[in-house]
Structure formats: structure tokens, C-alpha cells
């Protein structure tokens, strides 16, 4: 095993050396030469002016807009949503390089995955195959098959989403996995099986349920969702969270919808996987779902890297509409333009498509989606009797507050007019009230700012100095191993920013392993995606060819002094507090401490 992996690593290095990142990326992005680099529109986020840069010298790319970055393999992994070795193979194929060792690369060959994770992924994939077989080809699956057929799930849909059926048995899957020598305790840990409390015996978690596999961004199967077939509770049962299944980092169908989201520059966000599948039947191939109604900022950012437009299409019940309000705020915060698709009362997307058909779903629901403000006009009306004076005034006030948050005067004017017309109110009065609301909220914000800025200005200036020093040092260390050696001796792991510290530590061991300076190959050496991105960014920085001894010494000093300076700032605040409380003796003690540290900083 180790041997074959080592061979692979050499081959990977060979491939990396023999291709040009510019050739590969040009197939996805229109690149223009600018100085030493090429620039173009970033494929990972929507933009109108190019901030995506590719360096043929360093064989790296980096986007100054969204922070995406890496080498040629990261690029293919990210754009195609492929695991590492499959990306390597894709590139080799494209360059017509015949690499026999790569011929058998499939999902089981991801070299860097640790073996337990691989077992978990494989167990999911194999179980899904079994459930799929039961559903499509056995008598036991007939009832589920009929149920799905009646709901318009064609063979194509069932195959595409690898839908299956878990029979009503306590040990159907458990004994299947045991026979295939999967470790039973791991099967419980990854949530495929449950465990009996009194004798710790594993049994099937999913029984008499239609099974919907759930994938991660790379297309590995990481969990199951199960819908009960007959009566029973809960109606939907998902795998528990585990080290491979983190709900807040997972969007259902994201790995497949990604190219379409990018191409259409729009994602449609649903509440659940059944909605995504129903919409797919209607030709909506850019739909994804969060698992549960709460959306995380991580999920919002995942979408933001592909597009700047999201349509929320949730159930029309109260829970769905409240979730729409909440999630719209999270999406807007992440920089996405949000629209809302409205379904008739009491319907979810699946019901609607069943009853009204795919054309009307596209035309009347998705096609008629409202702007976020348009949605808010409807949302705040819910449950209010607008004929009642009090409730009407509450509504108008809520809308004025929303209008105040808009940054464009034209927009504000538009919506105030709408309110004025609907409720026969004077536009002037509405405008005045809106200005008042705006001033009040601005006042609150400014109070908050003042409290914050007290000592953070000084902190910020320091932060910039040491952050800059750490960035420049790493940029030089990537180019030059003797700089890295000196930094290792003088600074060691004492970088102040965690990510830089991690990159420096990896870089030290990279050189210790005998590798030559080469940012693109170093990125291969890193396992963490975030570190890869940051490394590309630092490697693409414009720096001087050589760094003088004096410069090096200065940067090192800045890094080492930062924690001391921070301490001084803290002590100064403390001293001021003590002085204000007239505790002069204590204040004097602190003043002495400050002097000592400042001396220490000066002496370096």
C-alpha cells in the first residue's frame, strides 16, 4: 500500500512538472497577459472586473476577490468537484499522458485520506448500492418502488440520486456489512448502524425507509436521509453528525449542482432533499438544500464562491417563511443577492410540482420570485389584520425599519411610495419618519463604534505591522530555503497568526525532508485547503528578489515584539482604569511594568 502511494506521489510530481497551469486554466477562464502573470474573471465567484491571477512562474493561481487559490490540481478539484487523484487523472488524460498507474483511480484511491475515513465512505457507498438494488430489483422493494413511481420518480431520477430502500429488518444491513468484514464499531460510529443499549449489539438504524444518500462537496457519500414508507415517526430520519458529516458544512447535491450554479450564476436553495429532487425533475439543476432549516455562514460562503444570486424556495408554512427571513439575512451578509420564490399556502415545492407540473413551477414560482424587499412586504403581513388600526401601524413601522436599511435613495423612495399608495398616507410623512428611524439606528451603531475604537486603533496599527512582517517573511521563505532556515532558528514557531504559524511549520519540515523551494509542489505537501489558499496568496505577492540581512532582522524583531507590544497596550488600559479609580499605588506598579517591557522591546 505504502509503496503504491509513493509511486503515485512521484508520478504526481512528474505530471505537475510537465504541464503548464496556464494551459489548463485557459480552458475554463479567458486569461489575458498582464506583466508576468495572467488575469481573468474568477471562476469561483461572480465578478465583473478581473481579480483572478495566474502565475506561470510559480504555477499557482490566486483570486484577490474571494481568496481562492492553489496549484493546478486544486483548480481542477475545485472547479470539477473531483477528489484529488481523479483530478490528477483528468489532467493527465487531457494532456494525453498515458499513466498506467492512474488507470484504476476511482474513489477508493484518494491517497491522502486516512484509512478510517475511507472505510466510512466505502461503507456508505456500498450500503447505498445495496439499498438501491433492493429498491429497483427485489420484491421487498416493490411497495417503495410503487410509492416513488406514483410520485413521479422515474428510473432516471432514482438512478441519478441513487435512491434506495432499507427493508423493515433489524439486521439486514448489519449482517451484510459484517460479512464484508467492515468493523462493526466503526459502522456505529459513522451512524449507518445503531447500537442496542442492553447488550451493545449493532442493528440497522434505517428500517422500512426510502434512502436518500447525502454527499460531501467532493462527492463522497457521508450520510443517509431516510423517509419512512408506512406510517410512523419520525417521518424523516437523518444520519447523526460525525467526523465526516457536519450538517452546517454540507449542502445536499452541491457537488453536482456546482457547475450549473456557476454557469447560471444563480443557486436555488430548498429546505430538503426531496425538494431538490423534485425541482431537478422540473429541469432545475442548480438546486441545493441545507439539511435542516438553519443555514450557517459556512454554507452561505460555499454558495458565494460560485455565484452572487440565490433564490430561496421554502415551504409556505410559518416555519418555512420564518426560516426564509433568517436565512435571507445570512445570505445577504455573505454578499449574495437574495430573491424569494413564493408557493401557494400549504404547499412545499414537491407538492406543487406534483399538482401543477414542472412548467408552472418554472414559470410561476421560480420565474416570479420576489426581491427580498418584496418578500418582506408579504412576510410582515402574515397573521396581521390590516383593517385594525394598531396592527396596520405596526406593519407600516416594520416596513419603514426595513426601508431604512436600504443603502440606495432610489430604492428607499420606491418602497415608501408603495406604502404611501397602499395605505393612502402622505409620502412626506413617511419620509420623515424613515429619516427618524434611520437616525435612531445610526445613533445606536455609532455608540457601539465609539466603545470599540478606544484602544483598538493602536492595536490595529500594530497588527498591520506584524501581519505584514509575517506575510513578507513567509513569501521569502517559500522562495528561499536559507531564509527559512534563519527564521526557523530565530523565530521558530512563534508566528502570531495561527495560519502563518502552521504554514511556517509545514515549510520547515518540507525543507527538512529535502525538497527544493517550489510553492506549487509545497502546496501538494499541505493537506489543509485553507492553508493551500493562503500559501498561494503569499507566494503570489510581489516581493524583492533578495532580502537584506537588515530587513530580515527587522521583520523578525516585529514578529517577536508583537506579543510584548500587545501586553503594553493592555497594561496601559489597566493603568488608566486604576488612575480613574484613584488607586495610584497600583497604577504606579503597572507603570513600572510597562517601562520594563518597553525597555525589553527596544533591546530586541
Q: Which residues of the chain form contacts with Zn ion (CB under 5 A)? A: 42, 44-45, 63, 65-66, 68
| Residues contacting residue 476 through CB under 8 Å, at least 6 positions apart | 483, 543, 547, 552
| DSSP letter, residue 489 | H
Minimum distance of Zn ion from residue 542's CB (angstroms) = 19
**Residue 478 and residue 59 in contact, taking contact as beta carbons nearer than 8 Å:** no
| Residues contacting residue 346 through CB under 8 Å, at least 6 positions apart | 316, 317
Question: What is the Cα–Cα distance from 330 to 325, expressed in whole angstroms?
Answer: 9
For residues 53 and 239, which CB has a smaller minimum distance to Zn ion in the complex?
Answer: 53
Closest CA to 49 of 62, 65, 61: 65
For residues 66 and 88, which CB has a smaller minimum distance to Zn ion in the complex?
Answer: 66
For residues 42 and 336, which CB has a smaller minimum distance to Zn ion in the complex?
Answer: 42
What count of other Cβ atoms lies within 10 Å of the Cβ of residue 177?
Answer: 21
Minimum distance of Zn ion from residue 332's CB (angstroms) = 19
Minimum distance of Zn ion from residue 360's CB (angstroms) = 36
**Residue 568 and residue 599 in contact, taking contact as beta carbons nearer than 8 Å:** no
Q: Which three cell numbers stand for residue 460?
A: 490595529
For the chain, what's the residue count? Answer: 604
For residues 282 and 331, which CB has a smaller minimum distance to Zn ion in the complex?
Answer: 331
Minimum distance of Zn ion from residue 62's CB (angstroms) = 9
Give the DSSP letter string of 363-412.
Answer: IIIITTPEEHHHHHHHHTTTT--TTSHHHHHHHHHHHHHHHHT---HHHH
Dihedral of alpha carbons 565, 570, 574, 576, sign: positive
Q: Could you report how far apart the first and last alpha carbons of the chain are, in Å? A: 51
Minimum distance of Zn ion from residue 249's CB (angstroms) = 20
For residues 308 and 351, which CB has a smaller minimum distance to Zn ion in the complex?
Answer: 308
Minimum distance of Zn ion from residue 305's CB (angstroms) = 7
Give the DSSP letter string of 560-602.
Answer: HHHHHHHHHHHHHHHHHHHHHTT-HHHHHHHHHHHHHHHHHHH
* Element containing residue 16 per DSSP (H, E): helix 2-18
Cα dihedral 464→465→470→471 (10° resolution): 60
For residues 51 and 394, which CB has a smaller minimum distance to Zn ion in the complex?
Answer: 51
Question: What is the Cα–Cα distance from 581 to 244, expressed in whole angstroms?
Answer: 53
For residues 44 and 273, which CB has a smaller minimum distance to Zn ion in the complex?
Answer: 44
Which three-class secondary structure state does DSSP give residue 207? coil
Question: In which order are the strands placed within the sheet that holds 251-252?
Answer: 251-252, 287-290, 267-270, 309-313, 337-340, 370-371
Question: What is the Cα–Cα distance from 506 to 488, expressed in whole angstroms?
Answer: 11
For residues 45 and 218, which CB has a smaller minimum distance to Zn ion in the complex?
Answer: 45
For residues 52 and 206, which CB has a smaller minimum distance to Zn ion in the complex?
Answer: 52
Looking only at the bridges linking them, the beta strands covering 221-228 and 236-238 are: antiparallel
Going from the C-alpha of 436 to that of each of 373, 396, 416, 418, the distances in angstroms are 20, 14, 14, 19
Minimum distance of Zn ion from residue 64's CB (angstroms) = 8
Give the DSSP letter string of 573-584.
Answer: HHHHHHHHTT-H
Minimum distance of Zn ion from residue 537's CB (angstroms) = 11
Minimum distance of Zn ion from residue 369's CB (angstroms) = 26
Q: Which three cell numbers stand for residue 180?
A: 464484508
Minimum distance of Zn ion from residue 204's CB (angstroms) = 44
**Residue 54 and residue 64 in contact, taking contact as beta carbons nearer than 8 Å:** no
Minimum distance of Zn ion from residue 544's CB (angstroms) = 27
For residues 65 and 335, which CB has a smaller minimum distance to Zn ion in the complex?
Answer: 65
Minimum distance of Zn ion from residue 300's CB (angstroms) = 16
Give phi and psi for 61, each to the nearest 5.
Answer: -130, 155
For residues 63 and 474, which CB has a smaller minimum distance to Zn ion in the complex?
Answer: 63
For residues 47 and 579, which CB has a smaller minimum distance to Zn ion in the complex?
Answer: 47
Minimum distance of Zn ion from residue 16's CB (angstroms) = 23
Looking only at the bridges linking them, the beta strands covering 267-270 and 287-290 are: parallel
For residues 43 and 225, which CB has a smaller minimum distance to Zn ion in the complex?
Answer: 43
Amino acid at each position: 500500500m505504502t509503496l503504491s502511494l509513493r509511486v503515485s506521489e512521484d508520478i504526481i510530481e512528474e505530471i505537475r512538472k510537465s504541464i503548464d497551469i496556464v494551459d489548463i486554466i485557459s480552458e475554463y477562464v479567458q486569461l489575458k497577459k498582464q506583466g508576468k502573470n495572467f488575469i481573468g474573471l474568477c471562476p469561483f465567484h461572480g465578478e465583473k472586473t478581473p481579480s483572478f491571477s495566474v502565475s506561470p512562474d510559480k504555477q499557482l493561481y490566486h483570486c484577490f476577490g474571494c481568496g481562492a487559490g492553489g496549484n493546478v490540481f486544486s483548480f481542477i478539484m475545485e472547479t470539477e468537484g473531483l477528489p484529488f487523484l481523479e483530478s490528477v487523472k483528468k489532467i493527465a488524460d487531457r494532456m494525453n499522458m498515458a499513466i498506467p498507474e492512474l488507470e484504476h483511480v476511482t474513489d477508493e484511491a484518494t491517497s491522502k485520506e486516512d484509512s478510517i475515513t475511507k472505510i466510512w465512505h466505502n461503507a456508505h457507498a456500498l450500503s447505498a448500492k445495496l439499498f438501491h438494488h433492493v429498491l429497483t430489483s427485489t420484491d421487498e422493494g416493490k411497495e417503495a418502488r410503487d410509492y416513488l413511481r406514483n410520485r413521479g420518480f422515474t428510473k432516471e431520477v432514482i438512478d441519478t440520486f441513487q435512491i434506495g430502500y432499507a427493508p423493515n429488518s433489524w439486521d439486514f444491513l448489519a449482517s451484510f456489512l459484517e460479512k464484508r468484514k467492515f468493523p462493526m464499531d466503526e459502522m456505529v460510529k459513522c451512524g449507518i448502524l445503531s447500537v442496542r443499549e442492553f447488550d451493545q449489539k449493532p442493528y440497522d438504524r434505517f428500517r422500512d425507509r426510502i434512502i436518500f444518500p447525502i454527499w460531501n462537496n467532493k462527492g463522497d457519500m457521508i450520510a443517509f436521509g431516510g423517509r419512512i414508507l408506512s406510517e410512523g415517526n419520525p417521518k424523516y430520519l437523518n444520519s447523526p453528525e460525525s467526523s465526516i458529516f457536519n450538517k452546517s458544512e454540507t449542502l445536499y447535491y452541491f457537488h453536482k449542482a456546482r457547475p450549473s450554479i456557476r454557469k447560471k450564476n444563480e443557486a436555488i436553495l430548498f429546505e430538503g432533499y426531496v425538494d431538490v429532487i423534485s425541482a431537478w425533475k422540473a429541469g432545475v439543476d442548480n438546486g441545493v438544500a441545507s439539511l435542516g432549516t438553519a443555514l450557517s455562514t459556512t454554507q452561505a460562503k460555499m454558495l458565494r464562491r460560485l455565484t452572487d444570486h440565490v433564490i430561496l424556495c421554502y415551504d409556505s408554512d410559518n416555519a418555512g417563511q420564518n426560516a426564509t427571513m433568517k436565512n435571507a439575512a445570512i445570505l445577504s451578509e455573505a454578499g449574495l443577492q437574495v430573491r424569494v420564490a413564493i408557493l401557494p399556502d400549504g404547499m412545499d415545492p414537491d407538492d406543487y410540482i406534483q399538482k401543477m407540473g414542472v412548467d408552472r413551477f418554472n414559470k410561476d414560482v421560480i420565474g416570479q420570485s420576489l426581491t427580498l424587499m418584496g418578500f418582506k412586504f408579504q412576510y410582515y403581513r402574515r397573521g396581521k389584520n390590516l383593517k385594525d388600526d394598531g396592527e396596520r401601524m405596526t406593519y407600516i413601522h416594520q416596513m419603514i425599519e426595513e426601508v431604512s436599511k436600504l443603502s440606495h435613495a432610489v430604492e428607499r423612495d420606491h418602497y415608501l411610495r408603495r406604502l404611501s399608495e397602499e395605505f393612502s398616507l402622505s409620502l412626506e410623512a413617511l419620509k420623515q419618519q424613515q429619516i427618524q428611524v434611520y437616525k435612531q439606528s445610526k445613533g445606536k451603531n455609532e455608540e457601539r463604534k465609539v466603545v470599540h475604537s478606544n484602544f483598538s486603533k493602536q492595536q490595529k496599527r500594530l497588527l498591520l505591522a506584524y501581519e505584514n512582517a509575517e506575510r513578507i517573511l513567509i513569501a521569502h521563505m517559500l522562495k528561499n530555503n536559507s531564509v527559512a532556515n534563519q527564521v526557523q532558528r530565530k523565530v521558530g514557531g512563534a508566528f502570531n497568526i495561527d495560519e502563518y504559524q502552521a504554514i511556517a511549520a509545514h515549510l520547515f519540515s518540507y525543507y527538512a525532508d529535502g525538497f527544493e523551494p517550489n510553492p506549487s509542489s509545497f502546496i501538494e505537501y499541505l493537506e489543509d485547503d485553507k492553508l493551500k489558499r493562503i500559501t498561494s496568496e503569499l507566494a503570489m505577492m510581489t516581493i524583492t528578489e533578495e532580502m537584506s540581512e537588515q530587513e530580515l532582522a527587522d521583520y523578525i524583531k516585529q514578529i517577536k515584539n508583537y506579543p510584548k507590544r500587545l501586553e503594553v497596550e493592555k497594561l496601559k488600559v489597566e493603568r488608566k482604569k486604576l488612575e480613574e479609580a484613584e488607586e495610584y499605588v497600583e497604577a504606579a506598579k503597572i507603570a513600572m511594568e510597562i517601562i520594563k517591557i518597553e525597555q525589553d522591546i527596544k533591546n530586541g
